[in-house]
Amino acid sequence: MTEKLKQPRWIIREADYDDLLDIRTMHAKSWLETYPDEENGVSEDWVRERVSAWTTPDGIQKSREHFKDIFGNPDHFYRIAEKDGEIVGLVHGSQSDGLQNLEALYVDKSEHGKGLAQDLMGLVDEWFDDTLPVKLGVASYNDRAIRFYEKYGFKIIPDSKSMYADKIPIVDMIRPGEGQKYPNLNPRLEIKDSPVEGRGIFTKVPFKKGVKIVINIDPQPIEVYEFTDEEFDKFRQDCIKKGLQWDSVSIGDGKHRAAIAAREKNPENYGNHSCDPNLSADHVALRDIESDEELTVDYAEFSDVNWSMECHCGSKNCEGTVKGKVE
């Protein structure tokens, strides 16, 4: 199927095996236009050497093996943009087991600022399931691309930096799906039933000791109020009447701190206490944390000395009551 624009400056169509040489040629050219950055230690010579084999007969044969799982596969969306018989842009999206990825979006430098990137993004967006999140990776120094993706609702995932080929620094970006219950939750984490109490925050991947684990990828300022017993009771009743959620803590001497904050918007509120926590109060891993392990903190570390609560964490050193330590 060929998809033409209202103003046919280019033609966007499905790719096939006959396009492989042109695809890899355009791909290599885009790498040379995008990735050299001496400040980040990525030289043009390194990029040129990296892409030099892509258009050789052996490179095209390897591409043919790679693309046999992409072309004609309903779980992949691959389109190329042609102008005057040359490929000037491409986009690749994928879906698998509820995960969606924007694998690639490249536009020839000669077409920058002319709307081609928007057209390609619009087409793959029509293909994506808008109820599911979409993830992508981008060079951390590619400010132009990052700004572009931010316009489409993507946010950088904190602490997601990795290295491609031990050379190019990459950060992950994600766009929540519409109606996604925890849109601000780090995608490396999940909320589910907890053996400690209610629901808790669990890891989907392992984390090393000393790593700061970002739970809320888009924190919003929350106004915290301080109430007397009488004021807090009125605040609580007002929230109930208006259907609002709140979080509160008793700080002793008949005083309370409270905030209106939907748990879905701030998933940190699902964090449970443990007398043997695996996170510090500022969310640094106190030890290696396994996949599918609940993240816990010691409430006492950030609670007033007049505060206490019953504890059912089940750890060996649990005394049944947690008491605040903050003077």
Alpha helices in 204-265 (DSSP H): 229-242
Q: Domain end: 152, 175, 198, which one?
A: 175
Q: What is the pLDDT of residue 131?
A: 85
Whole-number Å distance between alpha carbons of 26 and 184: 36
Are residues 114 and 216 part of one domain?
Answer: no
Structure tokens at 57: 């007969």
Q: Please give the biggest Cα pair distance in the chain.
A: 79
Whole-number Å distance between alpha carbons of 134 and 111: 25
Are residues 20 and 152 part of one domain?
Answer: yes
Looking only at the bridges linking them, the beta strands covering 308-310 and 296-297 are: unpaired
HSE-CB of 63 using CA atoms within 13 angstroms: 21
Judge if pTM exceeds 0.75: no
Comparing 89-98, 171-180, 214-223, the range with the smallest average pLDDT is: 214-223
Residues shown for the chain: 327
Asked if residue 304 belongs to a domain, the reply is yes
Asked if residue 301 belongs to a domain, the reply is yes
Asked if residue 254 belongs to a domain, the reply is no
Asked if residue 10 belongs to a domain, the reply is yes
pLDDT tens track for 75-129: 999 999 999 999 999 999 999 877 799 999 999 999 999 999 999 999 999 999 9
Position with higher pLDDT, 303 vs 283:
283
Are residues 98 and 214 part of one domain?
Answer: no
Cβ distance 159 to 140 under 8 Å? no
Asked if residue 231 belongs to a domain, the reply is no
Cβ distance 46 to 7 under 8 Å? no
Residue 252 has pLDDT above 70, yes or no: no
Whole-number Å distance between alpha carbons of 63 and 279: 45
Residue 181 has pLDDT above 90, yes or no: no
Average pLDDT over residues 249-267: 71
Q: What is the pLDDT of residue 154?
A: 94
Q: What is the pLDDT of residue 261?
A: 62
- The amino acid occupying position 163 is M
Which DSSP letter does residue 117 get?
Answer: H
The contacts of residue 288 (CB under 8 Å, 6+ apart) are: 206, 207, 208, 209
Are residues 158 and 25 part of one domain?
Answer: yes
Residue 132 has pLDDT above 90, yes or no: no
Q: What is the pLDDT of residue 5?
A: 45
Structure tokens at 23: 């695809």
Phi, psi of 127 (to 5 degrees): -80, -35
Are residues 196 and 165 part of one domain?
Answer: no
Are residues 211 and 116 part of one domain?
Answer: no
What's the domain count of the chain? 2
Whole-number Å distance between alpha carbons of 139 and 222: 32
**Sign of torsion over alpha carbons 68, 70, 74, 79:** negative
Q: Domain end: 148, 175, 202, which one?
A: 175
Across the chain, mean pLDDT equals: 88
Whole-number Å distance between alpha carbons of 181 and 159: 22
Q: Domain end: 143, 175, 207, which one?
A: 175
Q: What is the dihedral of CA 262, 220, 136, 114, to 10 degrees?
A: 120
Are residues 215 and 80 part of one domain?
Answer: no
Asked if residue 249 belongs to a domain, the reply is no
Q: What is the pLDDT of residue 232?
A: 83
Q: What is the pLDDT of residue 327?
A: 67
Cβ distance 117 to 88 under 8 Å? no
Position with higher pLDDT, 23 vs 238:
23
Are residues 304 and 273 part of one domain?
Answer: yes
Asked if residue 181 belongs to a domain, the reply is no
Are residues 205 and 114 part of one domain?
Answer: no
Are residues 142 and 59 part of one domain?
Answer: yes
Across-strand partners of 224? 259
Across-strand partners of 42? 37
Are residues 203 and 99 part of one domain?
Answer: no
Average pLDDT over residues 276-283: 92
- CATH number, position 132: 3.40.630.30
Phi, psi of 276 (to 5 degrees): -130, 70
- CATH number, position 266: 2.170.270.10
Q: What is the pLDDT of residue 4?
A: 47
Average pLDDT over residues 269-283: 91
Asked if residue 242 belongs to a domain, the reply is no
Whole-number Å distance between alpha carbons of 164 and 312: 44
Closest CA to 295 of 212, 201, 190, 206: 201
Q: What is the pLDDT of residue 117?
A: 95
Q: What is the pLDDT of residue 264?
A: 58
Average pLDDT over residues 191-213: 91
Q: What is the pLDDT of residue 188?
A: 85
pLDDT tens track for 285-312: 999 999 999 999 998 887 777 778 889 8
Cβ distance 296 to 311 under 8 Å? no
Are residues 142 and 196 part of one domain?
Answer: no
Comparing 154-168, 174-188, 246-260, the range with the smallest average pLDDT is: 246-260
Residue 43 has pLDDT above 70, yes or no: yes
Residue-range definition of the domain harbouring residue 213: 189-222+261-323
